[in-house]
């Protein structure tokens, strides 16, 4: 089963917003060397809303090429139109991704029955293991635990990225899930707690800048080494908090640029990190040993 610290990797861009694929390769090589347990490409942190379909597919292909089988690749293939999500998921399967990550449809606010039918249709149409992605702070629609339980009966639906940071909710979910159904924290601030409760790990923003510590923290938690896991989490707390001081991925892309790993390219409507926040994010990087 997939487990550990999976990075929700940024999409490196030049100052004019063009994709910077050489930087993507260097990031993936760095993550492999630091122990990151999987690459999640073209998710929210990868600016999936502002890349076009051709770029989306190219990023999936390149991530698979650059990873070269060294770590699993999870392709972000969600959408608020079921047909589009199916086509992206089919593409990821054909390209050789190990898993697809499909976000709850956004803006159109489907019912629980609509969510069930949406994900069921994707799983039926595309031959690839599918991880659900629930992030109601962005999508408004919230994938209820009871609906997740229904979807877990489908052979190709194998897990969920749960981004509510609710301890009660994830405890209830894991208590009722099939044993082989994977649960990942979608928020870094709840990653340790979820993992100690039995989750498989985290799909992480913090891992973009601290891949080694995030890997070691989740590994320690899964091994029952509570003291080590807590110590690492405490050192990363500033990152967990301040990488969201403005909308993700604005702060994390600034942080990676400050570390010299990417250029600070973003696409509108996202804008560069406000200068007043630079000292706060830099301080968190230094506290975590990233600078």
Residue 179 annotated as catalytic? no
Q: Which long-range contacts (CB under 8 A, 24 or more apart) does 116-121 make?
A: 116/147, 116/150, 116/151, 117/82, 118/82, 118/85, 119/151, 119/154, 119/157, 120/151, 120/154, 121/82, 121/86
Q: 3-class SS at 274?
A: coil
- Residues forming beta bridges with residue 4, ordered by sequence position: 201
DSSP state of 273: P
Of 94, 106, 116, 133, which residue is the catalytic one? 133
Of 99, 116, 161, 194, which residue is the catalytic one? 161
d(C-alpha 256, C-alpha 275), whole Å: 15
Give the end-to-end CA distance of the chain in Å, rounded to a whole number.
34
Q: Which among 180, 166, 113, 188 has a CA at the least distance from the CA of 143?
A: 113
DSSP state of 107: S
Q: 3-class SS at 36?
A: coil
**Tokens representing residue 106 in the block:** 């956004």
Q: What is the CA radius of gyration of the chain?
A: 18
Residue 194 annotated as catalytic? no
DSSP-H helix ranges across 68-190: 82-95, 112-125, 136-139, 145-151, 167-176
Task: Say how far residue 17 (Cα) sits from the centre of its chain.
Answer: 21
Q: Under 8 Å CB-to-CB from 249, ≥6 apart: which residues?
A: 10, 44, 45, 46, 47, 205, 266, 270
What DSSP assignment string belongs to 167-202?
HHHHHHHHHHS-TT-EEEESSGGGHHHHHHTT--EE
Catalytic residues: 133, 161
């Amino acid at each position: 089963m997939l487990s550990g610290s999976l990075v929700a990797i940024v999409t490196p861009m030049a100052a004019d917003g063009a994709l910077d694929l050489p930087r993507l390769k260097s990031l993936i090589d760095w993550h492999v060397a630091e122990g990151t347990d999987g690459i999640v490409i073209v998710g929210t942190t990868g600016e999936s809303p502002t890349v076009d379909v051709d770029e989306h597919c190219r990023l999936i292909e390149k991530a698979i090429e650059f990873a070269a089988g060294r770590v699993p690749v999870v392709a972000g293939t969600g959408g608020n139109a079921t047909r589009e999500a199916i086509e992206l998921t089919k593409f990821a399967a054909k390209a050789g991704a190990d898993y697809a990550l499909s976000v709850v449809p956004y803006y159109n606010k489907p019912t629980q029955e609509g969510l069930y039918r949406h994900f069921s249709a994707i799983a039926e149409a595309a031959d690839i293991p599918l991880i659900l992605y629930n992030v109601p702070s962005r999508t408004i629609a919230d994938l209820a635990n009871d609906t997740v339980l229904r979807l877990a009966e489908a052979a190709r639906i194998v897990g969920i990225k749960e981004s509510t940071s609710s301890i009660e909710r994830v405890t209830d979910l894991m208590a009722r899930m099939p044993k082989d159904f994977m649960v990942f924290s979608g928020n870094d601030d709840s990653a340790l707690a979820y993992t100690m409760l039995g989750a498989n790990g985290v799909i992480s923003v913090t891992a973009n800048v601290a891949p080694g510590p995030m890997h070691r923290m989740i590994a320690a938690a899964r091994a029952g080494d509570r003291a080590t896991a807590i110590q690492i989490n405490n050192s990363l707390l500033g990152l967990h908090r301040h990488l969201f001081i403005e909308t993700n991925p604005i702060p994390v892309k600034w942080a990676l640029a400050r570390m010299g790993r990417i250029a600070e390219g973003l696409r509108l409507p996202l804008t560069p990190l406000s200068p007043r926040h630079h000292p706060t994010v830099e301080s968190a990087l230094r506290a975590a040993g990233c600078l």
